[in-house]
Each structure stands twice: as C-alpha cells, then as structure tokens.
Structure 1
Amino acid sequence: MNLNRNAISHVPDTVYTPRYDPALLRPGIVHLGCGNFHRGHQVVATQAAIDAEGRDGLRWGIVSATMRRPDLATVLQSQDNLYTLLTREPANTVASVMAAITEAVYAGDDNANLAARIADPATAIVTLTVTASGYYLSADGRLDPTFEAIQADLTAITPRTAPGIIAAGLAQVRQRGGVPPVILCCDNVNSNGDTLRQAVIDLAALKGDDLLAAWIETNVQFPDTMVDRIVPTATPDDIADACRLLGGIEDRAPISAEPWFQWVIGEFDGPRPRWVAHPGTKFVSDVGVFERAKLQMLNGTHMLLAYVGALANLNTVSEAASDDALGRIAARFMRNEQTADVSLDTDELDRYTVDLMQRFRNPGIVHEVTRIGRNGSAKMASRIVQPMRSNIETGRPVDGAVLLIASWIRWFALHEQDEFDIALTDPRAETLRGLCADARDDHKAQAEAFLAMEEVFGAPLPDHGKQVEAIASMLRRLTEESVPELLRTIAH
C-alpha cells in the first residue's frame, strides 16, 4: 500500500496523524520553495494550527510550489500531497503524517498559475523558502539585475523567480483593487522581510511599473521572520524507516528533522493560522535579535563546519562537529567571533552555543556538508563578513573567519584542478572557478581576487591588506599541509 488519503486509516496508532480530513482543506497559503525545510517547518506549524482551530482551520491549506524541478511535486501529487515527518531524536525516531499541503505544483509549469494563486482573494499569506540565492541579491542586499534569471523575468509572461512571481501576483491584486496577502520570507536572509520587499519593489521598477512599486511599498506587509530547524536531505534510510514505522505503507517523499523547532514572526495585521499552537512559534515586535543570533551563530558556524569539514574528509555536520579538533574550533568561532553585535547577555550566548553544538552533534541527523556548503557567495556577506568586519573594528579575533574563507576558496581551487569530487552549487560558480584558474598556485592572488568581489564580500574590510595576507597564508597551509593535522594545531 502506498501513502495516500485512503491509507491514513491503516497507519499504526504509534504514528501521529492529522485530526482533520485533508480532503476538506481549502487553500489559504501559497508557498514558494517546496523543499525539505518547508515540509519540516512551516507545514508542521500549519498542521498544528489546523488541528487546533478545528473547522475554522480548514481554510489554511497550502499550495506549495517547487521552484527548480517538478520531481517532488509529482511524487507528492501521487500521494495526495501526504508525506511522513521523521523526528530524529538521538536515540529514537517519531513518525508523523503531514497533510497540510492541498496541492503541490511546479513553478516552471505554465499551468501552475502562481501569480493568479497569489492574487486569489482566499490567499491571505504567501511564504517562501527559496534559499538565499533564490532572491538574486548583491552584497548590499538589493536585487542584482545582472542575473540572467532576473533579466528573463523582466520580459517573461510567466515569471520564474520568487521576486518576479510575487510582483506579478501583487500586480493582479492591485489591478482588481483587492487586499494584498502578507508576504513571509522564511529564508536565512538578513532582515528578510525588508530585503524581500525591496527586491520585489526593485523588480517592479525595473519592469517600468513605478506605480506598482509605490503601491507595494505602501500597501503590502513583509514581516521579518526567523526560522530554525535542521532538516537534512532525505536518504534511503528515511524511506525504509518511514515504511517500517507506517506498518508497511510506502512513502516516496519522507523527510527527517531534529526535535528543535523555532519560528519567530514579526507582528502583522490580518488573518493568520494559529501557528502558536506549535511549540517554538511566537509573534514578536522585533525579530532582529533572534535573526542576528541565528544567522551568525548557527548558519555561520554551519558554513565553517561545511567548508573545513569537507577538506578534512568529514562528510556530515555531525561528524564535523563531533571531531575533537574541528568541534573545538567551531565552538570557539561561534562564541568568540559570531556573537558580534548579537544583543543577548553572556549567559544566553553561552547557553545558545552549548545548545547549538549539541544539536550539530546529533547522530540521528545526516546533514551533508556539501549541501550546507551550497551558494556560499549568496551567504558570505551577512553571515560571515558582517561579524568579521565588526570584530576587526573592535579588535576581536577573526581567526575562524579567515579559516572559513580560505577553506571556501580552496573548494573552488580544488574543483578547478579536478581534484575535488564535489559538485559545486553557487550562482557565481563559473566566475569563482575562473578566479582560481587565473591565479593557480598563487594563494595571495586568489585571496585578493575573491575579496575584491564586492558583490560577494561588500566594501573592502578594515586593514584590508592584512586580511588578504591572513587568508592567503591559511590558504597556503590548507594546500601544503594535512588538513586534519592543521586543525589539531589550530584547535590548541
């Protein structure tokens, strides 16, 4: 038996199932970016809200769109949009059937009609998890019009990028004089609500529609949010475990997630699901302090574990964080460098550091470092360079940031020399490989060329020449020395 609505009644009592009939759900949310994180985060909170609201909650079904490929949408459609969430505790796994998605579509399909769905009066909220690269931003946080995808959206009848789809949907709302939906960015982007608002306004202006740009700025709410849960890439073990826990029912789209769940949402006007029914969800007046702590301490340290871990032949975040040397380096980097400008007291920072390192070491979560390392050029400015700049200005250490940036450059240098068996995913991958090719074996030239990319790193760092020298020196050591031995030296 395959997982679908008819199979729910055959699921063992040990598995959580929704308390509502999924067939009765009506769409009230449109989501862009139907990946694992969305299915392990926003869908989970929305299902809890529907359960808590009863009949009134049935208006909060989700139309969820995959952005790059149709595969997942196709699989979900075959399962009545149901899937299994496997909550991976260190010594136990809990299975839950998720049913809040009413329809899965592919954004590249003209029949998906995403702009029209956003403009539908029943749509009260639009959420997004398209990753930082999906907003096509430059280092200053503004829309970068040089990206081919943005150029294509300026003339396309059916836009394909998240900013383009939202702008097209809002244009239809404005044209019919409707109430616009609230737009909730759920990606790890600095000031994500304000940043997305500006990107959509910029796109409208680039299309020559200044009236739409002004209307969006005045009428559409883009609250900031902070999301936090580790949801790794699905593995064959997930499929096997889901089938076992479901009593033999087969699920082709299960996902795993850690027990931790946090969703901090800026207050906004208008209807919303009772998301606070799920523990870890709350509405606040200022998301900034939560966002800064998460972006720098969690996401920034994730990048260190990924880039350095791969060079040390450590394949997962758990392996990297559990490594004696790299684990020490990561914890020190998180606490001493990535806390720059994070407005929490010392005890809170200490406790958050301990909690994060414990989460990273959870062996039940198989989070591949190659996946964490994707799209580094879109993440570098907000997660690494911003605290690094502050630390330099205040005389604090930046050794961890130097190691991270040097390791990232080393990824591209090895790949350019066909010595790195990792597929590099980055919106600027070809440019970065080219920089390494142009300066092959010249570590200082490589460091200078990378840091000169202001669209990635922003304006030159304070004492810029000294930082170039430090990164070049570390890059040389990563090239000439055994990485595990180097890490043991650095850790002590």
Structure 2
Amino acid sequence: MFLNRSALNRIPPTVYGPTFDPGSLRTGIVHLGCGNFHRAHQVTATQAAIGAQGDEGLGWGVTSVAMRRPELARALCEQDNLYTLLTREPSGTVASVMAAIHEAVFAGDTHVGLAARIADPAVKIVTLTVTASGYHLTADETLDPDAPEIRADLKGATPRTAAGILAAGLSLVRQRGTVPPVILCCDNVSRNGRTLRQAVMDFVALDGDDGLAAWIGEHVRFPDTMVDRIVPVPNADDRHDATRLLGGIEDRIPLSAEPWFQWIIERFDGPRPMWEAHPGTRFVGDVEVFERAKLQMLNGTHMILAYVGALAGVNTISDAACDAALGTIAARFMRYEQTAGVNLPEDEMDRYARDLMKRFRNPGIVHEVERIGRNGSAKMAARIIRPMRENLEAGRSVEGATLLIASWIRWFALHEQEALEIALADPRADVLRRICADARDDHGAQVEAFMAMESVFGPPLPDHAAQVARISRMLKRLTDESVPALLHELAR
C-alpha cells in the first residue's frame, strides 16, 4: 500500500499524523516554490496551526506551486498531497505524516491560473521559497532588469518568476478591488520582505504600470521573516526508513530534517494561521537582528564548510564540521568574523555559535557540500562581503573570508579544467568559468576579475588591491599545496 488518505488509519501509533481530516481543507495560503524546505518548514508550522485551531483552521490549507519542475507536484497529487517527514535526532528518527498541503500544482501548466489563485479572496497569505537566486537580484538587492527570466516575463503572457507571478496576481486584486494577500518571503535574502516588495514594484514599473507599483507600495504588506532548518536532499535511506516506520506503507516522497526549527515573522495585522502553535515560531517587531545572525553565522559558515570541505575531499557538512582543522576554522570564522554587525549580547552569540556547530555535526543529517555550494554568486554579498567589509573597516581579521572566497574561485577553476568531482550550479557559472579559462595560470588575474564583478561582490572593498592580493595568495596555496595540510596549519 502507498501513502494516501485511505492509508491514514493504518499508520502505526508511533507515527505522528494529522489531527484533522485532510479532505476538509480549503486553500487559504498559496506557496510559490514547492520544494523540500517548504515541505519541512512552512507546512509543518501550518499543520500545527490547523490542528490547534480546529474547524477554523481548515481554511488554512496550502496550494503549493512547483516553479521549475512538475515532478514533485505530480507525486504529491498521487499521494493525496501526503508525505512523511523524518526528523533526524542524534539518537534516532521520528516520523510524522504531513497533510497541510491542500493541492500541489506546477506553474508551467497553462491551466493553473496562478494570478487568479493569488487574487482569490479566500487566499489571505502568499508564502515563497524560491531560493535567493529565484528573485533575480543584483548585489545591491534590487531587481536585475537584464536577467533573461525577467525579460521573458515582461514579454510573455504567462509569468514564471516570483516577481512576475506576484505582479500578475496583485494586478488582478487591484482590478477587482478586493483585499490583497499578505506576502511572506521565506528565503535567505536580506530584509526579505522589503526587498521582495521593491522587486515586485520594480517589475511592474518595468512593465510600464507605475500606478500598480504605487498601489502595491501603499496597500500590500510584505513582512520580513527569517527561516532556519537544515533539510538534506531526500535519498534512498529516507524511503526505506519511511516505509519501515509507517509499518510497510510506502511513501515515494519522504524527506528528512534536523530537529531544529525556527521561523521569525514580523508582526502583521489580519487573518493568519496560529503558526506559533509550532515550537520555534515567533512573531516579533524587528526581524533584522535574527536574520543577520542567521545569514552570516549559519549560512555564511555553511559556505566555508562547503567550499573548503569539498577541496579537502569531504562530501557532507557533518564531515566537514567534524574535521578537527576545518571545524576549528569554521567555528572561529563564525564567532569572530561573521558576528560583525550582529546586535546581540555576547553570551547569546556564544550560545548560538555553539548550537550551530552542534547542528552542523549531527551525523543524522546528510547535507551535501555540493548542494550548500550552489548559487554562491547570489549569496556572496549579503552573507560574506557585508561582514568582511565591516571587519576591514574596523581593522579586524578577515582570514576566514579570504579562505572562503579563494576556495569558491578554486571550485570554478577546477570545474573549468574538468577536475572538480562535484556538480557546480550557479546563475553566473558560464561567466565565472570563462574568467578561469582566460587566466588559467594567473591567480591574481582570476581573483581580480572575480572581485571586479560588482553584481556579485558589490563595490570595491576597503584597500581593495590588498584584499585581491591576499585572496590571490590563498588561491595559489589552495592550488599548489595539500588542502588538508594547509587547513591544519591555518587552524593553529
């Protein structure tokens, strides 16, 4: 038997299941970006809210929209939108059947009508997890008008980008004179609500509708949020464990997540699910301090573990964090470089840093460095360059940032030489590989060309030539020396 609604009464009592009838759900939330993180994060909080609110909660079902590929949406439909979430505790695995998705659709299907779904008066909230690169932003976090996907949306009748879809839906709301939904960006973008609001306004202005842009600015709320949970790519072990824990019921699309869950949401008025029924969800007046701590301390440290770890021959974040040398470098980088501009008490930052390293070392979470290393050019400015710039201005060390940037450039150099064993995914991959090809044996020229890309790194760093020289020396060492031996030296 496969997991579906008819199988719910057969799941073992050791498995957590929905306390409501999934068949009675109605859509109150449209989510753009039906993926693994969404299924392990927003859906779990929404399921807790529906359960806590009883019959009133049944109006908070989620219509989850797959943006790029239809496979997951179709697999969800085949299982009545049910799936198993495996929480990987260090001491074992806990299984829960998730049922808050009311329907799953693919944005590329012409009959879906996303604008009409967003404009449905029953839809009170639109959430998004389309990854940082899915917003097509420049280094200063404004909409990139030259991005091919944005240009295609401006020319085409059916938008496929987040900005284009939201613009179409909000335009229809305005035409009908109804109340617009609250838009909640749940991606790792600095000041994500305000940034998305401006990106949507910029999109409609590019489309020639200044009136709609002004209306969005005045009437549509885009609260800031911060999300945090490690969700590895599903694998065969997940399917095996789900079937075992479900007592033989097969789930084609289970996924794993760590126990840690955090969702910080800027307070807003109006109807919403009781998301705070899920531990780790908080509504606050100012999200920015939590967001900056997470972007820099967690996401930035993830990047150094991924880029350096791959060069050292490790495959997962857990292995990288458990490596004596790299773990020491990462912990030092997190606490003494990545806390720049994080306005939290010292003891709270100490505790958060310890918790993060403990999470990174969890052997139950198989988080591949290849996946964490994706889309570095879209992440570099907010996560690495901003604290690096502040540290340089204050005269503090930037040794970790130097190692990280050099390691990232080394990924492209190796890939250009067909010597990188892992896949390389980045929206600017072709340009960056070409730089490495044009200056194959000149590390200084490679670094100078990379750092000149203001769309990635922003304006020049303080004493820019000295920083280029420092990164070039590190790149040369990563090229010429044993990486594990180099890390052992740097960790002293």
Report the counterpart of residue 483 of structure 1 in structure 2: 483
Q: Partners in 2 of 1:438 and 1:111 — Cα distance?
A: 46
Pairing 1:74-473 to 2, within 5 Å after superposition? 74-473=74-473
Report the counterpart of residue 5 of structure 2 in structure 1: 5
Q: Partners in 2 of 1:77 and 1:156 — Cα distance?
A: 28
Which amino acid counterpart does residue 477 of structure 2 have in structure 1?
R
Q: Partners in 1 of 2:426 and 2:172 — Cα distance?
A: 33
Q: Partners in 2 of 1:67 and 1:489 — Cα distance?
A: 45
Q: Partners in 2 of 1:194 and 1:462 — Cα distance?
A: 28
Q: Partners in 1 of 2:141 and 2:401 — Cα distance?
A: 21
Which amino acid counterpart does residue 371 of structure 1 have in structure 2?
R
TM-score when normalising by structure 2? 1.00
Q: Partners in 1 of 2:155 and 2:257 — Cα distance?
A: 40
How far has the Cα of 1:196 moved from its partner? 0.3
Q: Partners in 1 of 2:179 and 2:439 — Cα distance?
A: 54
How far has the Cα of 1:306 moved from its partner? 0.5
Q: Partners in 2 of 1:43 and 1:310 — Cα distance?
A: 32
What whole-Å deviation, never above 9, does each CA across 1:425-468 have from its counterpart, x for those lacking one? Answer: 11111011011111111000000000000000000000000100
SS of equivalent residue, structure 1 residue 48:
helix
SS of equivalent residue, structure 2 residue 426:
coil
How far has the Cα of 1:116 moved from its partner? 1.0
Which amino acid counterpart does residue 246 of structure 2 have in structure 1?
L
What whole-Å deviation, never above 9, does each CA across 1:128-177 have from its counterpart, x for those lacking one? Answer: 00000000000011000111100000021110000100010000000110
SS of equivalent residue, structure 2 residue 85:
strand
SS of equivalent residue, structure 2 residue 140:
coil
How far has the Cα of 1:8 moved from its partner? 0.4
| Pairs aligned (count) | 492
Moved more, 106-115 or 467-476: 106-115
2:62 is aligned with 1:65: no
Moved more, 413-422 or 446-455: 413-422
Q: Partners in 1 of 2:485 and 2:109 — Cα distance?
A: 50
SS of equivalent residue, structure 2 residue 256:
strand
What whole-Å deviation, never above 9, does each CA across 1:279-329 have from its counterpart, x for those lacking one? Answer: 110100000100000000000000000000011111000000000000000
Q: Partners in 2 of 1:429 and 1:481 — Cα distance?
A: 25
Which amino acid counterpart does residue 458 of structure 2 have in structure 1?
G
How far has the Cα of 1:91 moved from its partner? 1.4
What whole-Å deviation, never above 9, does each CA across 1:245-267 have from its counterpart, x for those lacking one? Answer: 00000001101000011100001
SS of equivalent residue, structure 2 residue 111:
helix
Q: Partners in 2 of 1:416 and 1:60 — Cα distance?
A: 48
Percent identical among aligned pairs is 72
What whole-Å deviation, never above 9, does each CA across 1:326-348 have from its counterpart, x for those lacking one? Answer: 00000000000000000011101
Which amino acid counterpart does residue 212 of structure 2 have in structure 1?
L
Moved over 3 A (4+): none
Which residues of structure 1 form unaligned runs of 5+?
Answer: none
How far has the Cα of 1:68 moved from its partner? 1.1
Q: Partners in 1 of 2:258 and 2:463 — Cα distance?
A: 41
For the aligned residue pairs, the C-alpha RMSD in angstroms reads: 0.5
How far has the Cα of 1:421 moved from its partner? 2.0
Report the counterpart of residue 37 of structure 1 in structure 2: 37
Q: Partners in 1 of 2:113 and 2:7 — Cα distance?
A: 30
Q: Partners in 1 of 2:388 and 2:456 — Cα distance?
A: 14
TM-score when normalising by structure 1? 1.00
Q: Partners in 2 of 1:332 and 1:245 — Cα distance?
A: 39
How far has the Cα of 1:362 moved from its partner? 0.2
Q: Partners in 1 of 2:223 and 2:262 — Cα distance?
A: 16
How far has the Cα of 1:67 moved from its partner? 1.0
Report the counterpart of residue 50 of structure 2 in structure 1: 50
Which residues of structure 2 form unaligned runs of 5+?
Answer: none
How far has the Cα of 1:211 moved from its partner? 0.5
Which amino acid counterpart does residue 168 of structure 1 have in structure 2?
A
Which amino acid counterpart does residue 360 of structure 2 have in structure 1?
F
